[in-house]
Amino acid sequence: MRRAKFFAILFLSIMAGSCAQMSSGPARSQAQSKSVDSRASEWLQSMRGTPALNITGVWDAGPSMGGGWGEARFVQTGGDVIGTMGLYNVQGVVNERNVYLVLSSNGRMYFTAHLELAGKGDLTGKAAESAIVDEPGSATATVYPMILKRMSD
């Protein structure tokens, strides 16, 4: 019984620490945050185009506790996308078969992503941390793969 209690307390302590670290996000100065956030809005606007797909619905981006992004829920109106992905709020645009996303929390941008429609209707691509994905400055950013599988419309 003591062993089970010990492991339960250990598990809860690890989970609490992980959640606190994830909710605080990466450490950035306020000036850094502001310049990246305004560039992210400008970048999103520059990616606008005619959508060739509708991503409204629920998507699986892998379990957030297992290294994935968590469940994503999007609503697309025209070429504009809003929604959530795991712990993040999402704003984005769809241009042809490409999806461009900004993932933020508490008003701060943490990731930008560029996804493309792949076989079987999946969206695949990458996300750059604290940088604009696919721009020259993102070469030094930490980049993560992102794969979304549609669960429902």
Domain contains 92: yes
Residue 2 resides in a domain: no
Residue whose pair of structure tokens reads 């209707």 in the numeric block: 121
Structural domain contains residue 54:
yes
**Cα–Cα distance, 36 to 21 (Å, whole number):** 21
pTM for the complete prediction?
A: 0.76
pLDDT of residue 64: 75
pLDDT digits (tens, 9 = 90+) for 24-82: 444 444 444 444 588 899 999 999 999 999 999 999 998 877 778 999 999 999 999 99
- Mean pLDDT value of segment 134-150: 90
Give the per-residue pLDDT at 67: 79
Q: Is 131 in contact with 138 (CB distance < 8 Å)?
A: yes
Is residue 119, in this structure, part of any structural domain at all? yes
Distance of CA 31 to the CA centre of its chain: 22
Structure tokens at 62: 């892998």
**Tens digit of each residue's pLDDT (9 = 90 or more) over 110-138:** 999 999 999 889 999 999 999 999 988 78
Instruction: Report the CATH number that the domain containing residue 107 is assigned in CATH.
Output: 2.40.128
The per-residue pLDDT for 138 is 80
* Number of domains composing the chain: 1
CB atoms within 10 A of CB 108: 16
Report if residue 90 sits inside a domain.
yes
pLDDT of 139 higher than 70: yes
> Does residue 72 lie within any of the structural domains?
yes
Residue 17 lies in a domain: no
Tell me what the mean pLDDT of segment 102-112 comes to: 94
Q: Which residues of 34-53 are buried (b: 16+ CB within 10 A; e: fewer)?
A: eebbebbeebbeebeeebee
Instruction: Name the nearest CA neighbour of 136 among 144, 145, 128.
Output: 128
Domain holding 108, by residue range, is 28-152
Separation between Cα atoms, residue 33 and residue 102, nearest integer Å? 13
**pLDDT at residue 36, rounded to an integer:** 56
Asked whether residue 12 is assigned to any structural domain, the reply reads no
